[in-house]
Amino acid sequence: MRNLIDIMDLSKAEINDMLDLADDITAHKEKYWESCKHMKLATLFFEPSTRTRLSFEAAMIELGGNVIGFSTADSSSAMKGETVEDTCRIVSQYVDIIAMRHPKEGAPVAAATTIEVPLINAGDGGHYHPTQTLTDLLTIRNEMGTMDDLTIGIVGDLKYGRTVHSLIKAMSRYKKIKFILISPKELEIPYYLKKWMNDENLEYIETNSLEEYMSEIDVLYMTRIQQERFFDINEYNRLKNSFILTPEKLIDAKKTMRILHPLPRVNEITREVDKDPRAAYFRQALNGKHIRMALILTLLKWAEEGR
């Protein structure tokens, strides 16, 4: 059974096929209106979400399917002490595919061992968020017209930001990619990821200045400081205003640069930046629905083929 837990579960060719399918869905929605008729998706969200959960639900509905699920752990039997494995095992008997978000790193791996339908990791703690990465890849391809030869500036909470971890891994497979990792020292990428980047010989620079490399960047990936993952609220308060993108800070940026953000934003991008045509984050959120439609279709097809 093929699941999507880590973006590296998919080959580069499989990702490209999924991006192509998302483009076709965007262009010819009506072709797919009955693709998942009589099928069900469960969204099991043990941690809050707006975009990810609702885009999954909208995706399944637009494919002609139905959705069941819960949006907080306290409205599930987790409150009574049920394990995540048991919850998923039961739900997998009711539905054809599951999208799950959990505050604990690795929870989807545990859940996947007990179920017989495809499982999608919709974010596990500070670890991974592969469907946001598929959204990011589709946005980069559509906005930049290429996935190769790009300098990607990643800004903010690189320690706890799961979207960052999955994005770095995914982009590492494309040609001539350079990463500029922009964060306060306290929020730099986790050691395991840095070691992996070194082992893979990836090109990267670490800095705590948003402006220093602005003129070189092709994709500026802004992120929120992940308040809920901090152990010490004083530390969060000290770091929360580390980087705030304003129109002035974009003066040296390339005209072709694109600004991405997985959203939600807090204050790291001011509202004035929204008017800049380079701001791609709202288009990115719409891409999220189309790529999730492509993902659901692909995983269901693979399940039917017994893959």
Contact residues toward ligand NCD (CB under 6 A) are 51-52, 123, 129, 132, 162-163, 224, 262-263
Residue 163 Cβ, how far from ligand NCD at the closest point, in Å?
5
Q: Of these residues, 52, 87, 131, 151, which one is catalytic?
A: 52
Which of 132/178 has CB closer to ligand NCD?
132
Q: Of these residues, 2, 51, 240, 249, which one is catalytic?
A: 51
* Cα 201 from chain centroid (whole Å): 24
Q: Of these residues, 129, 162, 289, 292, which one is catalytic?
A: 129
Rounded CA-CA distance 135/22 in Å is 10
Which of 32/59 has CB closer to ligand NCD?
59
If we measure between CA atoms, which residue out of 37, 50, 53, 14 comes closest to residue 96? 37
* Cα 224 from chain centroid (whole Å): 13
- Asked about 114 being catalytic, the answer comes back as no
Residue 125 Cβ, how far from ligand NCD at the closest point, in Å?
9
- Asked about 283 being catalytic, the answer comes back as no
Residue 162 Cβ, how far from ligand NCD at the closest point, in Å?
5
Which of 52/178 has CB closer to ligand NCD?
52
DSSP annotation of 101 reads E
Q: Of these residues, 80, 185, 271, 275, which one is catalytic?
A: 80
By the 10 Å C-beta count (0-12 exposed, 13-18 middle, 19+ buried), 89 is classed as middle
Residue 98 Cβ, how far from ligand NCD at the closest point, in Å?
17
Cα distances (Å, whole numbers) of residue 279 to 73, 130, 143, 240, 258? 34, 22, 10, 22, 6
Pairing of strands 97-102, 258-260: unpaired
- Asked about 102 being catalytic, the answer comes back as no
- By three-state DSSP, how is residue 180 classified? strand
Which stretch of DSSP H or E encloses residue 84? helix 84-92
Residue 128 Cβ, how far from ligand NCD at the closest point, in Å?
9
- Asked about 52 being catalytic, the answer comes back as yes
Rounded CA-CA distance 56/42 in Å is 9
Rounded CA-CA distance 88/115 in Å is 7
Which of 19/263 has CB closer to ligand NCD?
263
- Asked about 28 being catalytic, the answer comes back as no
Which of 32/46 has CB closer to ligand NCD?
46
Q: Of these residues, 40, 53, 101, 289, which one is catalytic?
A: 101
Query: Active-site residues: which are they?
Result: 51-52, 80, 101, 129
